[in-house]
């Protein structure tokens, strides 16, 4: 996956370029001032596939050694690269000129460096300044030419934010070669970027204003300048003398922008100033509000004396002179700034001395519901009528009475008849509105209504539709909804003319909506043939899954790693079969988990008939139909399901189980599209990380489980993703949680209800598959080494056997580990690929991990690769370090300030250390001596460890790792083999027995 970088070019704007994984560098030399093509740069064609843009090239000054630039992973963590000090050398790279507004629409097919994140932050600051009106017009001169531009006003916290961005600019973000062997300063680059982005944002805002905002200053230089501010052409064409005079005048604005003290700020007061009716016709109980006159009044509050609030009339009459500095100029500047935030104010600025602005009822409603908020966020003061109640919304109230909970059982689906009562009404807050009163509001056709002495905002058209909705003959209404339809209706309100603002429900419906589903759940007892003893939290999980299945709702079981998602699913399947459910369940999982599902089912639920639909010998056509009919559980991979989608969608599955459901986090992939074509009565997703990178991951999973639940992808992005991810909106995050809560069950290892029930240590066999390259090398080693073994005897034969074992373990790690050629890691190793996935989950869960390897060389290969892929620091403790360096690594890891991933060589890090900050232990290449592994595990699993430790042992089925593990276990049970004889035992096997141990099995290879 390419790594994308961004930089701001003073001449061309935003540029994107990318580099691939490392490849062996050449040995050619060149003068340091000649820019050669970057050897790892992504081509223009590949860049445009990631993002639209105009192809170009750029010369970058990059840290280099010999004939290659250093990798991003060698520079990204701030540590000094190993080896000789690098020097700056010019490299030519393909690049794209990109519109900065498209920074948030980057493709998931690449990863992005810190320079992209930094430019996004600059763009966010620019947008925020424009939104708050913290901008002023200016004139930029370049020789005899001049342009009208908008510039940021940086004061207070905004200036601090700018300084922080200057300090945080990554080195790659300032790498463009401006002069021989020099680049631009960070301050100059961030300043240029911020000014350009602000100017673009203001012009875009003015162009989209309705009605369009025009700036006119009559004839003369000022008029030419003003007319160039809102349009697309910023050029100001004037004689040099007039240009000089104009520049001197405009410079006074820059002086205002650069001051740290503002004497006052504008205040806007919305007032009811009488009625449009004669006094005798005015009705104090009028609900329609059509007799009210609304006025927006302008004031100025002094900074030095906040109690001093000056009306605009007093300012224009001279009564404010001496109270603040230049009150008239300050009021004009503040009103001009406010007009950029709220275009409704623009007409008032066309008057000579604006003191107030009369509003229509429609304008008053827009100001109350949106304009006031925008002005407040921009730093202005707004005063609203005391009778305005913006918190109460007009909406539908739903009253529901559901059937007794005992009727919701696992063997039946809850239908429409399970809702015993179903009634709609219209309400505002706690006040219910009768039909007669509602009819009067509809007849008024006004967006503002006075109800119970308080003003509220309504949509007249939707109000009328709401009245019609209530007046329908109950016998002609749509039938009562099912449970799934009811929850979707309540959560989204997509089928109602007014939003559903209040639900009053009892029974299981009330429990679900009030997030008290535990009160509704009833125990589900697996059959006697089920061999696992479920812990209490697992029993609740099975009951929840059964409840969701009965309601026909897709469910996401998002328990933390190691809490038994598989065994809970098998318990549900076994319980359903015992009750007479016979439709087959389809399980989709990564290829490395197919064998795990077979083994877990055979061990815990032996009555379940399991079919592994995988590999070249899998069934098709009539053969597949017969196999599916005879199976309870059909286990296949995501890749196989994608290829066989046309056949698999022909079956109606009892349940579709998506294990490691993040495999479908991108809804545009062929896999996700194929899965959506499958038909199932119930859908279940299993994942420890429902949100892996972005909220779009959550949408993809839940939309597949319950289509339409979160709206379209565009609606979800607008409604939830943008406010939460860009602005950290906690209220929106809470709303999303409420919306998704009924469909998602997540328990973590730290939950108080779970901790007492967990064992102190959980051991997990972490399976993976070899890549095609690994398989080819594996077979070649077996053939070569078996020839040597067959022709040697005694000590030499034992040496050849041990050499074969070592080589096979190395190829299972990575081809580069075997070949010692320094070739790139890439996607060449199934073990490394799976390791990346596991570590990403661990980082997402907030845990820390120890990764043990027997080989220091493998550790050196992994550190830069994992750091680059995961975007996190990876520590490495090995025997080549001095004692002081080792102690420093341990201290940083234990303190919580160091890396969350610590790689250790088994020999140097397997004893004598206390590393209880880790709760995850990964054994990457297995030692055949269990005592050695246990001793390494005890670095985290020891006195002082207050949390459960998960131990993951990487094994590839069908390889020497798998067979020696089985062999040692059997021999130990039979002969009481002492610890430490693992590899020695192998040297004494017969040649044929040894060939059986070493030969690669078909299950070892990925598809």
pLDDT in tens, 576-628: 988 876 789 999 998 767 887 888 899 899 999 999 998 888 999 999 999 99
- The pLDDT of 637-658, averaged and rounded, is 93
- The pLDDT of 691-713, averaged and rounded, is 81
Q: Is the pLDDT assigned to residue 570 strictly greater than 50?
A: yes
- The pLDDT of 185-199, averaged and rounded, is 90
CA distance linking residue 937 with residue 348, whole number of Å: 74
Q: What is the pLDDT of residue 455?
A: 84
Looking at residue 290, what DSSP letter applies? T
CA distance linking residue 433 with residue 394, whole number of Å: 10
Helix (H, G, I), strand (E, B) or coil at 370: helix
pLDDT confidence tier of residue 232, bands split at 50, 70 and 90: confident
Q: CA 463, 466, 467, 471: dihedral to nearest 10 degrees?
A: 170
Sole residue written with tokens 């790792």: 961
List beta partners, residue 402: 419
Q: What is the pLDDT of residue 208?
A: 74
CA distance linking residue 823 with residue 812, whole number of Å: 16
CA distance linking residue 428 with residue 466, whole number of Å: 13
Angle, in degrees to the nearest 10, between helices 565-578 and 594-604: 50
Continuous segment of H or E residues that includes residue 838: helix 830-845
Task: Give the highest mean pLDDT range of 533-537, 701-705, 741-745.
Answer: 701-705
CA distance linking residue 206 with residue 223, whole number of Å: 17
Least confident of 322-331, 632-641, 846-855: 322-331
| CATH number 3.30.70.100 given to 764-1004 | no
How many other C-beta atoms lie within 10 A of the C-beta of residue 386? 8
Task: List the one residue out of 512, 511, 510, 490 whose CA is nearest residue 501.
Answer: 490
Q: Is the peptide bond before 211 cis (omega within 30 degrees of 0)?
A: yes
CA distance linking residue 642 with residue 326, whole number of Å: 72
Angle, in degrees to the nearest 10, between helices 157-168 and 186-208: 130
Distances (CA, A) of 511 to 177, 311, 382: 64, 54, 41
Per the prediction, the chain carries an average pLDDT of 78
pLDDT confidence tier of residue 978, bands split at 50, 70 and 90: very low
Is the CB of residue 64 less than 8 Å from the CB of residue 70? yes
Q: What is the pLDDT of residue 899?
A: 92
Task: Give the highest mean pLDDT range of 404-408, 649-653, 889-893.
Answer: 649-653
- The pLDDT of 548-555, averaged and rounded, is 83
Is the CB of residue 871 less than 8 Å from the CB of residue 822? no
Pairing of strands 652-659, 585-589: parallel
Residue 572 has which token pair? 């549900």
More confidently predicted of 436 and 294: 294
* Percent with pLDDT over 90 in the chain: 20
Count the alpha carbons within 13 Å of 215 in the hemisphere toward its beta carbon.
Answer: 19
Q: What is the pLDDT of residue 157?
A: 64
More confidently predicted of 937 and 817: 817
Backbone dihedral angles phi then psi of residue 922, each to the nearest 5 degrees: -120, 125
Sole residue written with tokens 């080195």: 171
CA distance linking residue 355 with residue 629, whole number of Å: 81
Pairing of strands 610-612, 633-637: parallel
CA distance linking residue 303 with residue 155, whole number of Å: 15
Is the CB of residue 532 less than 8 Å from the CB of residue 524? no
Q: Is the pLDDT assigned to residue 385 strictly greater than 60?
A: yes
pLDDT confidence tier of residue 273, bands split at 50, 70 and 90: confident
Over the stretch 771-787, which tens digit does the pLDDT of each residue have?
989 988 998 888 888 88
More confidently predicted of 428 and 768: 768
Distance of CA 245 to the CA centre of its chain: 52
N-to-C CA span, the chain: 20
Task: List the one residue out of 10, 20, 186 whose CA is nearest residue 115.
Answer: 186
Q: What is the pLDDT of residue 693?
A: 57
pLDDT confidence tier of residue 490, bands split at 50, 70 and 90: low
Q: What is the pLDDT of residue 60?
A: 87
Q: Is the pLDDT assigned to residue 637 strictly greater than 70?
A: yes
Can you give 785-808 as a three-state secondary structure string?
A: HHHHHHCCCHHHHHHHHHHHHHHH
Least confident of 125-129, 518-522, 628-632, 834-838: 518-522
Least confident of 51-65, 367-381, 670-684, 722-736: 722-736
Can you give 630-667 as a three-state secondary structure string?
A: CCCEEEEEHHHHHHCHHHHCCCEEEEEEEECHHHHCCC
Q: What is the pLDDT of residue 980?
A: 36
- The pLDDT of 828-857, averaged and rounded, is 92
- The pLDDT of 815-843, averaged and rounded, is 90
| CATH number 3.60.9.10 given to 553-758 | no
- The pLDDT of 151-172, averaged and rounded, is 80
CA distance linking residue 140 with residue 234, whole number of Å: 10
- Structure pTM? 0.50
Task: List the one residue out of 617, 922, 907 whose CA is nearest residue 764.
Answer: 922
Looking at residue 371, what DSSP letter applies? I
Radius of gyration of the chain (CA): 35
Q: What is the pLDDT of residue 488?
A: 61
Can you give 472-494 as a three-state secondary structure string?
A: CCHHHCCCCCCHHHHHHHHHHCC
Q: What is the pLDDT of residue 82?
A: 54
Is the CB of residue 513 less than 8 Å from the CB of residue 741? no
Q: What is the pLDDT of residue 460?
A: 73
- The pLDDT of 743-755, averaged and rounded, is 73
Over the stretch 73-82, which tens digit does the pLDDT of each residue have?
444 434 455 5
Q: What is the pLDDT of residue 286?
A: 46
Is the CB of residue 665 less than 8 Å from the CB of residue 707? no
Task: List the one residue out of 751, 683, 741 whose CA is nearest residue 538.
Answer: 751
Q: Is the pLDDT assigned to residue 755 strictly greater than 70?
A: no
pLDDT confidence tier of residue 742, bands split at 50, 70 and 90: confident
Is the CB of residue 148 less than 8 Å from the CB of residue 229? yes
- The pLDDT of 750-754, averaged and rounded, is 67
- DSSP strands (E only) in 384-512: 394-402, 419-428, 431-433, 448-451, 454-457, 500-505
Q: Is the pLDDT assigned to residue 410 strictly greater than 70?
A: no
Q: What is the pLDDT of residue 178?
A: 74
Residue 209 has which token pair? 């204003």
Helix (H, G, I), strand (E, B) or coil at 55: strand
Least confident of 198-202, 244-248, 921-925, 961-965: 961-965
Which distant-in-sequence residues (6+ apart) come within 8 Å of 745 by Cβ? 541, 544, 555, 556, 557, 558, 559
Q: Is the pLDDT assigned to residue 379 strictly greater than 80?
A: no
Q: What is the pLDDT of residue 665?
A: 81
CA distance linking residue 636 with residue 618, whole number of Å: 10
Q: Is the pLDDT assigned to residue 848 strictly greater than 90?
A: yes
Least confident of 2-6, 442-446, 485-489: 485-489
CA distance linking residue 203 with residue 197, whole number of Å: 10
Same fold, 553-758 and 764-1004: yes
Q: Is the pLDDT assigned to residue 1007 strictly greater than 60?
A: no
Residue 690 has which token pair? 């429902």
Q: What is the pLDDT of residue 733?
A: 80
Angle, in degrees to the nearest 10, between helices 157-168 and 114-131: 160
Task: List the one residue out of 584, 590, 568 whose CA is nearest residue 658.
Answer: 590
Angle, in degrees to the nearest 10, between helices 730-740 and 695-705: 20
Task: List the one residue out of 245, 274, 2, 241 whose CA is nearest residue 111.
Answer: 2
Over the stretch 870-914, which tens digit does the pLDDT of each residue have?
989 999 998 888 767 877 888 899 888 889 999 998 877 766 577
CA distance linking residue 13 with residue 11, whole number of Å: 6
Is the CB of residue 841 less than 8 Å from the CB of residue 810? no
- The pLDDT of 14-20, averaged and rounded, is 86
Q: What is the pLDDT of residue 937?
A: 82
Task: List the one residue out of 697, 658, 661, 699 whose CA is nearest residue 678.
Answer: 658
User: What's the full length of the chain, in residues?
Assistant: 1007
Domain ranges in the chain are: 3-208, 264-383, 394-518, 553-758, 764-1004
Which distant-in-sequence residues (6+ apart) come within 8 Å of 116 by Cβ? 4, 5, 6, 16, 103, 106
- The pLDDT of 671-691, averaged and rounded, is 88
Distances (CA, A) of 573 to 411, 681, 1007: 11, 14, 28
Backbone dihedral angles phi then psi of residue 945, each to the nearest 5 degrees: -85, 115
Q: Is the pLDDT assigned to residue 338 strictly greater than 50?
A: yes
Which distant-in-sequence residues (6+ apart) come within 8 Å of 718 by Cβ? none
Is the CB of residue 150 less than 8 Å from the CB of residue 198? yes
- The pLDDT of 266-273, averaged and rounded, is 89
What are the DSSP calls for 608-620, one per residue?
S-EEE--STT---
Residue 921 has which token pair? 């232990």
Q: Is the pLDDT assigned to residue 979 strictly greater than 50?
A: no
Q: What is the pLDDT of residue 283?
A: 46
Q: What is the pLDDT of residue 192?
A: 92
Backbone dihedral angles phi then psi of residue 293, each to the nearest 5 degrees: -105, 125
Count the alpha carbons within 13 Å of 378 in the hemisphere toward its beta carbon.
Answer: 30
Task: Give the highest mean pLDDT range of 219-223, 288-292, 611-615, 739-743.
Answer: 611-615
Q: What is the pLDDT of residue 412?
A: 41
Q: What is the pLDDT of residue 213?
A: 61
């Amino acid at each position: 996956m390419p790594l994308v970088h961004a930089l701001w070019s003073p001449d061309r704007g935003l540029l994107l370029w990318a580099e691939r994984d490392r490849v062996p560098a050449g040995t050619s030399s060149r003068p340091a001032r000649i820019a050669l093509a970057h050897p790892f740069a992504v081509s223009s064609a590949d860049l445009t596939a990631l993002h639209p843009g105009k192809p170009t090239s750029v010369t970058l000054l990059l840290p280099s050694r010999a004939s290659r630039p250093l990798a991003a992973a060698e520079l990204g963590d701030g540590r000094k690269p190993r080896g000789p000090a690098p020097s700056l050398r010019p490299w030519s790279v393909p690049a794209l000129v990109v519109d900065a507004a498209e920074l948030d629409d980057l493709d998931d097919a690449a990863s992005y460096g810190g320079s992209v994140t930094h430019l996004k932050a600059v763009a966010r600051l620019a947008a925020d300044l424009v939104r708050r009106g913290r901008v002023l017009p200016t004139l930029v001169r370049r020789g005899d030419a001049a342009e009208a531009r908008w510039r940021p006003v940086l004061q207070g916290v905004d200036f601090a934010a700018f300084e922080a961005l200057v300090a945080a600019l990554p080195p790659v973000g300032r790498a463009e070669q401006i002069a021989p062997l020099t680049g631009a300063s960070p301050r100059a680059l961030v300043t240029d970027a911020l000014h350009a982005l602000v100017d673009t944002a203001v012009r875009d805002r003015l162009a989209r204003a309705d009605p369009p905002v025009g700036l006119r200053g009559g004839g003369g230089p000022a008029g030419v300048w003003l007319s160039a501010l809102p349009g697309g052409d910023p050029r100001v064409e004037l004689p040099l003398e007039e240009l000089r005079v104009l520049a001197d005048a405009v410079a006074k604005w820059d002086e205002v922008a650069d001051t740290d003290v503002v004497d006052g700020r504008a205040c806007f007061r919305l007032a009811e100033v009488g009625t449009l009716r004669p006094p005798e016709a005015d009705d104090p109980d009028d609900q329609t509000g059509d007799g009210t006159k609304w006025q927006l009044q302008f004031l100025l509050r002094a900074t030095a004396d906040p109690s001093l609030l000056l009306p605009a009339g007093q300012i224009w009459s001279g009564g404010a002179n001496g109270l603040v500095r230049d009150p008239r100029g300050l009021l004009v500047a503040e009103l001009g700034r406010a007009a950029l935030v709220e275009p409704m104010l623009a007409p008032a600025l066309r008057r000579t001395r604006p003191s107030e602005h009369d509003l229509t009822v429609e304008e008053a409603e827009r100001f109350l519901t949106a304009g006031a908020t925008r002005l407040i966020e921009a730093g202005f003061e707004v005063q609203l009528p005391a009778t305005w109640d913006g918190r109460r919304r007009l909406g539908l109230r739903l009253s529901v009475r559901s059937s007794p909970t005992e009727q919701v059982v696992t063997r039946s689906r809850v239908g429409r008849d399970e809702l015993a009562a179903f009634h709609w009404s219209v309400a505002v807050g706690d006040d219910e509105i009768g039909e007669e009163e509602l009819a009067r509001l509809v007849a008024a056709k006004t967006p503002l209504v006075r109800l119970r002495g308080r003003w509220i905002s309504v949509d007249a058209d939707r109000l009328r539709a709401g009245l019609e909705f209530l007046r329908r003959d109950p016998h002609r209404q749509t039938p009562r909804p099912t449970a799934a339809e009811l929850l979707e209706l309540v959560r989204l309100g997509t089928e109602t003319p007014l939003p559903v603002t209040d639900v009053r429900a009892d029974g299981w419906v009330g429990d679900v909506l009030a997030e008290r589903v535990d009160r509704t759940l009833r125990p589900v007892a697996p059959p006697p043939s089920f061999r696992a003893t479920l812990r209490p939290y697992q029993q609740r999980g099975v009951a929840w899954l059964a409840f969701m299945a009965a309601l026909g709702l897709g469910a996401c079981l998002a328990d933390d790693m190691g809490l038994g998602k598989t065994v809970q699913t098998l318990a549900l399947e076994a319980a359903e079969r015992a009750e007479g459910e016979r439709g087959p369940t389809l399980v989709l999982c990564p290829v490395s988990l197919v064998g795990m599902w077979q083994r877990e089912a055979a061990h815990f639920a032996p009555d379940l008939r399991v079919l592994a639909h995988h590999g070249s010998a899998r069934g098709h056509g009539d053969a597949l139909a017969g196999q599916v009919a005879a199976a309870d559980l059909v286990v296949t991979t995501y890749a196989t399901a994608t290829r066989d989608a046309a056949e698999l969608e022909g079956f109606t599955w009892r349940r579709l189980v998506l294990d490691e459901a993040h495999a479908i986090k991108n809804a545009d992939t062929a896999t996700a599209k194929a899965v959506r074509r499958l038909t199932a009565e119930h859908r279940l997703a299993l994942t420890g990380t429902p949100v892996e990178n972005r909220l779009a991951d959550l949408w993809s999973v839940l939309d597949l489980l319950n289509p339409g639940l979160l709206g379209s992808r565009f609606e979800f992005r607008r409604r939830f993703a943008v406010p939460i991810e860009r602005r950290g909106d906690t209220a929106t995050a809470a709303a999303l949680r409420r919306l998704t809560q009924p469909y998602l069950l997540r328990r973590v290892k730290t939950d108080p209800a779970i901790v007492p029930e967990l064992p102190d240590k959980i051991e997990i066999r972490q399976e993976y598959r070899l890549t095609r390259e690994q398989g080819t090398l594996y077979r070649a080693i077996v053939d070569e080494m078996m020839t040597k073994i067959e022709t040697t005897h005694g000590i030499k034969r034992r040496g050849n056997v041990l050499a074969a074992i070592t080589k096979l373990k190395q190829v299972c790690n990575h081809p580069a580990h075997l070949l010692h050629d320094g070739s790139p890691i890439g996607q060449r190793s199934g073990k490394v690929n799976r390791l990346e996935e596991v570590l990403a989950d661990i980082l997402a869960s907030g845990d820390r991990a120890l990764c043990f390897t027997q080989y220091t060389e493998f550790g050196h290969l992994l550190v830069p690769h994992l750091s680059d892929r995961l975007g996190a620091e990876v520590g490495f403790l090995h025997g080549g370090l001095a004692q002081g360096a080792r102690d420093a690594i341990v201290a940083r890891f234990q303190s919580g300030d160091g890396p969350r991933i610590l790689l250790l060589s088994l020999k140097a890090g397997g004893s004598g250390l206390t590393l209880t900050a880790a709760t995850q232990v990964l054994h990457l290449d297995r030692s055949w001596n269990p005592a050695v592994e246990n001793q390494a595990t005890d670095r985290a699993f020891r006195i002082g460890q207050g949390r459960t430790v998960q131990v993951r042992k990487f094994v590839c089925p069908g390889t020497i790792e798998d067979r020696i593990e089985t062999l040692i276990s059997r021999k130990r049970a039979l002969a009481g083999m002492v610890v430490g004889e693992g590899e020695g035992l192998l040297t004494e096997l017969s040649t044929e027995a040894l060939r059986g141990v070493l030969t690669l099995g078909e299950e070892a290879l990925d598809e």
